[in-house]
Structure formats: structure tokens, C-alpha cells
A and B are shown apart, each in its own frame.
Chain A
Amino acid sequence: MENLIINNLTKGYFKKKALNNFSYSFKKGIVYGLIGPNGSGKTTLMKTIYGLVKPTKGTLSMNHNKISYKTRKNIAFMPTEDVFMPNLMVSEILKFYNNTFEDFSLEKSHKILENMKLPLDEKIETFSTGMKMRLKVTLCLSRNVELYMFDEPLNGIDVISKDLIKNTIISMTSENSTIVISSHALNEMELILEQVLFLNEGSLIRNINLEEFRDTENKSLESLYWEVYNV
């Protein structure tokens, strides 16, 4: 069932178009990949869906409600930026999230934290880059919403952290929610993603179902990437 519908979305920053006439309908129960070089519009798209960026043109709706700060209640978004205060303990951050989001589940967060091999009673300042990323993914997945978006969850982290994040995302998929992941780590993501959207200069230039693509073309996601961007 389609829950997030985007029509002719355009976002311009002065003369430059970050998104250009983007249309797509996302469905429940599917893990989507947003692929594209830096500056292709992936982050702007996620921020617009989360209601942080106002579209210049076009419409976005989540379950027939126009995207606004209200629809944010049903969307969890993990941005690339770090947002933690370094002197806080993990348990304090969980408490903060629990007070901020009605749908946050402390029980779920403890379970995911365990999967991610993270401690409850340590300060963030002692964390490595990989541990911080694991915590960010944990906080996002600990909410009970219909749409989870991760901006570059595997970027710049060690192999073990990548593996823990991938396993956790796999185990948290559900037929009642949509997962959208932007990534440059094609090799690592290609077995997890089902549907892949290729962006270029703010436009959707290709949209494929990976299993169908492997079946008909006998190619990997990475070789498709080279083909799509023609480099």
C-alpha cells in the first residue's frame, strides 16, 4: 500500500535546483535505496519529506495528509549531522528522546542497544565514530512510526559497526513500515535494498526493483551505477 506520495516536487535554492520535478510513491513493507553522487538531491529529498525544507513546487503527502510538522509524528529521520551533547550518558539521551517523541519505546531502544553492542551508562564523548552512528540508528529505529529514513548510515565507519547497523535494520523491517536509506556503499547495501531510486541533479532518472533487475539483466547494482551515471 502506498503511504508517501510525492508529485512534481521541485526545490530551488536561488538559481540552482536541488530537486527537479521529482515524483514517486513509496509503499509500506519495502526497503528503498536512494542512490546518486553528492549533490544529486538525496538529502534535500529526505529533509523535504521530514518537513524541514519547504518545497518550491509540487506536493507531498503521508497517508493523505499534506507534509508539515504534524506528519513528522509518523516519520523518523536520521540526519548525517551529529546532534548529541558529548557530556550526556546514553541513558540520558534515551530519556530525552522518550520525552520528545510520543511513539518512542524505551523497551525497544534497550533491545536495539543490545543488538548494537552499546552500553547504557557511558558518556557520548567516549564513543568512537562507529559507536555514535550505531546510537543514531538506534534512536531512529526505537520510534514506532510508518517511515524510517537514514541519511548515509554506513558512511565513514568501521566494518563491525557497518555489520551491526545492517543486521539491526534487517531485523527491524516490517510490513507496516517503509525504510528509506541513502548510501554510497552500494556493495554493502545491495542485498538489503529492494527498490533503488537513482537521482541526478535533483531528478529521478531510474527506478528499479533489484531482484527483477538481476533476473533480467544479470548485473550487479554497482555495474548499474556506472551505467546510469555514465562515467
Chain B
Amino acid sequence: MEFKKNIPIYLQIMDKLKQDISLKTLKPGEKLMSTRELAVELKVNPNTVSRVYKELELENIVFTKRGMGTFVVEDETILENIKKKMANDITVKFICDMRDLNISTDEAIKMLREIEEEK
């Protein structure tokens, strides 16, 4: 995983895990790697990964079983919500970027359609 070095690392890891969970690369109920294993894999500080797991737990996306590790929740509606939230964030960013270019939402939608037809 490539990190942007000017954005908090824990946020970037959270986004990646949320994406994996919503796309079911990480399945409902699946056990996550231990913080140390994930830290070594991503080459980041283990405390950063601990923070990721804590924040995801606060958002009810993962849960901890004492002495067993951290798991993805099994509730499909929560997983569906992550997807919605992420799609929403991308849309908001898209609209804001377009506005910065003085392109109205209607025009932006038209552009989206045109590009889709080309592909």
C-alpha cells in the first residue's frame, strides 16, 4: 500500500480497510490480522494500526473478542452503510471539484453520461 505522507496514516489505513470490507475482500465475521502483523505488512508503526482498529470499533465496523483478536462485524446493513458513506464522500468531493472549475451539477452529470457512453 502506498501512503500519502501528508495525510494521517491511520485515516488512510481505515479507508483501505473499509473499502476491503465493503467489497467483501474482507468478509463479514472474518478475523483481521493482529496489529503487529498488519504493521509489518504495511511497514508502519504498530500504534498507528492499534488506532485504526480502535476507530473502526467505535464506528461499529469491527469488534474485539478478548484474547481472540479483531473481527469484521457480521451485520450486512452496517457494511452496506460503509459503502453508501464512501460513495457519498466521493460524490461530494466530485461536486466540489467541479464547482471549483465553475461547472454546474447539471453539466457535470452530462459529462459523466458522455464519458460513460464512450467507454
Which residues of the partner chain B approach A191 to less than 8 Å between Cβ atoms? Answer: 3, 5, 9, 42-45, 48
- The size class of the interface chain B forms with chain A is 10 to 19
**Please, which residue of chain B has its CB at the minimum distance from the CB of A191?**
B44
Q: Among residues 142 to 187 in chain A, which have CB atoms less than 8 Å away from a CB atom of chain B?
A: 163, 166-167, 170-171, 173, 187
Interface pair A29/B47, CB less than 8 Å apart: yes
Which residues of the partner chain A approach B45 to less than 8 Å between Cβ atoms? Answer: 31, 170, 173, 191-194
How far is it, in angstroms, between the C-alpha of A222 and the C-alpha of B45 when the chains are bound? Answer: 18
B67 within 8 Å of A (CB atoms): no
Interface pair A214/B8, CB less than 8 Å apart: yes
Q: How far is the CB of B38 from chain A (nearest CB, A)?
A: 10
Q: B residues within 8 Å of A by Cβ? A: 3, 5-10, 36, 39-40, 42-48, 51
Q: Chain B interface mostly helix, strand, loop or mixed?
A: helix
Of B6, B36, B40, B48, most A-chain CB atoms within 10 Å? B6
Q: A residues within 8 Å of B by Cβ? A: 29-31, 163, 166-167, 170-171, 173, 187, 190-194, 211, 214-215, 217-223
Which residues of the partner chain A approach B48 to less than 8 Å between Cβ atoms? Answer: 191, 194, 211
Q: Count A/B pairs, Cβ under 8 Å.
A: 59
**Please, which residue of chain B has its CB at the minimum distance from the CB of A188?**
B43
Partner of B46, one of A173, A214, A215, A218: A173
Interface pair A167/B43, CB less than 8 Å apart: yes
Which residues of the partner chain B approach A192 to less than 8 Å between Cβ atoms? Answer: 43-45
Q: How far is the CB of B37 from chain A (nearest CB, A)?
A: 9
Partner of B43, one of A170, A218, A223: A170
Partner of B6, one of A30, A166, A223: A223
**Please, which residue of chain B has its CB at the minimum distance from the CB of A217?**
B6
Interface pair B9/A214, CB less than 8 Å apart: yes
Which residues of the partner chain B approach A163 to less than 8 Å between Cβ atoms? Answer: 43
**Please, which residue of chain B has its CB at the minimum distance from the CB of A173?**
B46
The 8 A-B residue pairs whose C-beta atoms are closest, nearest first, are A220-B5, A191-B44, A214-B8, A215-B8, A220-B6, A218-B6, A211-B8, A219-B6
How far is it, in angstroms, between the C-alpha of A30 and the C-alpha of B50 when the chains are bound? Answer: 13
